[in-house]
Amino acid sequence: MSSSSPPVPSYRRIETLEFSKSIPSSILDDICPSRLKSTSTFNAVKHTREAAKKNCLGKPIQDLNHPAYPAYGLFASRKLSSLEHVIDYHGFVTLNGEEDTESDYTYSFAKRRLVIDANAVGTEARFCNDFRGIREKPNAEFFEYRDRVGDLKCGIRVKKGEIIGKGDEICVNYGKGFWLHRFGREALEKASLSTRGVPVEEGKVECSFLKRRHQCTLYYE
């Protein structure tokens, strides 16, 4: 364990999605019907940090052998059950193709019509790492859902059949497409080696996305 700590991530925490003004009203009306009921906010339902903290926390990784050390990870605050909604993935939403291609925190949303970018604004869901090199398989997944007023949201939930213990790291699968697009087939093969039990140092991707995060759009599978 190291006594040094990574820099505190700089981002503005938000409780709902924020939308680019370039998104057509026809798309917004479908994604966020609550905007038809209120001119003051796009989303009537907010996901507060206080609520999220009951489920998870973004914390610095202390294990020197962790592929993301010394960055952050997302850890369970309590025992989480199968299919339990853990936290929302919020950010600044743009049309697909208008996102910041330099951002490390983009996610394809709403049948790939839109992109959520959690680089400058978001929730602690932005700290959720890919499972490769950390555990044998993911224990959580991205999913899209409609909240109680019908607004479309993106969140992270526990995978079916999985139980996440208190203090365990919450990990998702970013998909093979990410690795191939971001680093190439060799990186994907190295990541797969580390997942199958090869020591992390042997399986580590030289330009690991776990440290640099993802600089391409994540596609929900």
Report the alpha-carbon distance of residue 71 to residue 210 in Å, rounded: 8
Task: Tell me how long the chain is.
Answer: 221
- What's the CATH superfamily of 16-212? SET domain (2.170.270.10)
Selected residue with higher pLDDT from 4 and 47: 47
Decide if 49 contacts 18 (C-beta within 8 A).
Answer: no
Report the alpha-carbon distance of residue 108 to residue 40 in Å, rounded: 26
Q: Read out DSSP for 184-200?
A: -HHHHHHHHHHHTT--H
The fraction of the chain above a pLDDT of 70, given in percent, is 72
Q: What pLDDT band is residue 9 in, cutting at 50, 70 and 90? A: confident
3-state SS, residue 65? coil
What sections of 39-130 are H helices per DSSP? 49-53
118-177 tens-digit pLDDT: 999 999 999 999 998 899 999 999 999 999 889 999 999 999 999 999 999 999 998 765
Q: How many CA atoms lie within 13 A of 188 on its CB side?
A: 12
Task: Phi first, then psi: give them for residue 144, nearest 5 degrees.
Answer: -115, 145
Domain spans of the chain?
A: 16-212
Report the alpha-carbon distance of residue 221 to residue 200 in Å, rounded: 26
105-132 tens-digit pLDDT: 888 999 999 999 999 999 999 999 999 8
